[in-house]
Amino acid sequence: MKIGILGGGQLAMMMVQMSAKHNIEFIVVDPSTNPPASKFAKCISSSFDDKISLDMLIESCDVVTIDFENVPSESLKYLEKNIEVYPGSYAVEICQDRLKEKQIFSKNNIPTTEYRVIDTESDLISAIEDLGKDTILKSRKLGYDGKNQITINNLTASDAWIQSGKNEAILEKKVDFKSELSIIGIRTKSGDTFYYPLVENFHQDGILNISVAPYEDNSLQKKAEEYHRKLSQELNYVGVLVIEFFLDHDNRLIANEMAPRVHNSGHWTNEGANISQFEAHIMAISDIKIQDIFANNNSGMLNILSKMPDNIDENSDEYKLYDYGKSERENRKLGHITLTSKNKKDLLSKISKLKDKIF
């Protein structure tokens, strides 16, 4: 079995690392020099829409996947004519566009944030009058980790429109939430679905800082799985799909966005579950049977951003440090730390101590 991956970042790297026992060969396509995955797999240095590189994948691979959602959907469509691609171009196209995401949530009766479609400055003026200034202007495309998002507050519609680059967008009303949760689910080629427990996430400036699992609420777990099942069936999805939710004060799950790939909030599964999200994704797209998915303990993950801390013990028995080998840059994901404990209080105490060292 040979798998091609479009994108050679840390997610691709961990897909390769965590799947070693399955005797799978990987080929990575990435435009950057020496991306993290290139340490563990053959890497073709090219743009994602380079036909020569895509043809190489067609000729040598059994299946192709992605490690981030902004791979051009046209490249996936080109590949799909000749080779299996999971997730498929349709699913990726939906997840690349905030409006299409909102529409598919609504189609499947999944609560979502209140929003208005913005194509012009006039649209924005009307939308702010309608929804108020406690809103966020989000580009429909290329928005993740808080990028291409403008909080209105005291901005005029004209200023916000200029700052946005006058791109297609949505104006979204802020949600008064008590927590942020994500569901990580896997759908196999035969349509079987498996779920990790809900994860509680803590963000700063739109970027994930900390994840803690499990978030124990049987009712919410069932509801999140129901929503996930609807969407994965609608998208004819194969592999790992993640849905991020706001949990409001009425204990309702409100869908925020989806990720058609393995996800930052699932890094804890490397040590905290019987099968990591990375291995599970590769198993699903390779048609390797998954028996069951479950968490071993209480688990946590802390993102390392911008600068690698010099006060972290790389050989600690209490946690595991993952260093992606990237150069330092403001808000860049450089690595993460995972830790587990049978006792949740103990876990949260350890996270608090590490947080003081990292953030």
Query: Which CATH number goes with the domain that contains 42?
Result: 3.40.50.20
The lowest-confidence range among 60-69, 145-154, 198-207, 269-278 is 145-154
Length of the chain: 359
Residue 75 lies in a domain: yes
Same domain, 236 and 292: yes
Q: What's the confidence (pLDDT) of residue 147?
A: 65
Res. 251: pLDDT tops 60: yes
3-state secondary structure of 295: strand
pLDDT digits (tens, 9 = 90+) for 186-195: 999 999 999 9
Same domain, 137 and 253: no
Do residues 272 and 338 make contact, with C-beta atoms less than 8 angstroms apart?
A: yes
Do residues 201 and 244 make contact, with C-beta atoms less than 8 angstroms apart?
A: yes
Mean of the pLDDT values across residues 166-172? 95
Query: Could you give the residue ranges of the DSSP H alpha helices within the chain?
Result: 10-18, 51-60, 73-80, 89-95, 98-107, 121-131, 157-163, 218-234, 269-272, 277-286, 344-358
**Distance between CA 198 and CA 174 in Å, rounded?**
22
Radius of gyration of the chain from Cα atoms?
20
- pLDDT band for position 146 (50/70/90)? low
Same domain, 193 and 290: yes
State pTM to two decimals.
0.95
CATH number at residue 254: 3.30.470.20
Range of the domain at 277: 177-358
Residue 9, phi then psi, degrees to nearest 5:
-75, -165
Single out the residue in 151, 173, 195 at which a domain terminates.
Answer: 173
- pLDDT band for position 142 (50/70/90)? confident
Same domain, 209 and 305: yes
Same domain, 138 and 61: no
pLDDT digits (tens, 9 = 90+) for 307-357: 998 888 887 888 999 999 999 999 899 999 999 999 999 999 999 999 888
Do residues 7 and 69 make contact, with C-beta atoms less than 8 angstroms apart?
A: no
Q: What's the confidence (pLDDT) of residue 317?
A: 85
Same domain, 192 and 211: yes
- β-pair type (2-6, 63-66): parallel
Exposure string over 195-205, b if 16+ CB within 10 A, otherwise e: bbbbbbbeeee
Please tell me the total count of domains within the chain. 3
Residue 96 lies in a domain: no
> Considering the chain, what is the average pLDDT of its residues?
95
**Distance between CA 209 and CA 202 in Å, rounded?**
6
Residue 129 lies in a domain: yes
Tokens (6 digits) for 196: 């990790």
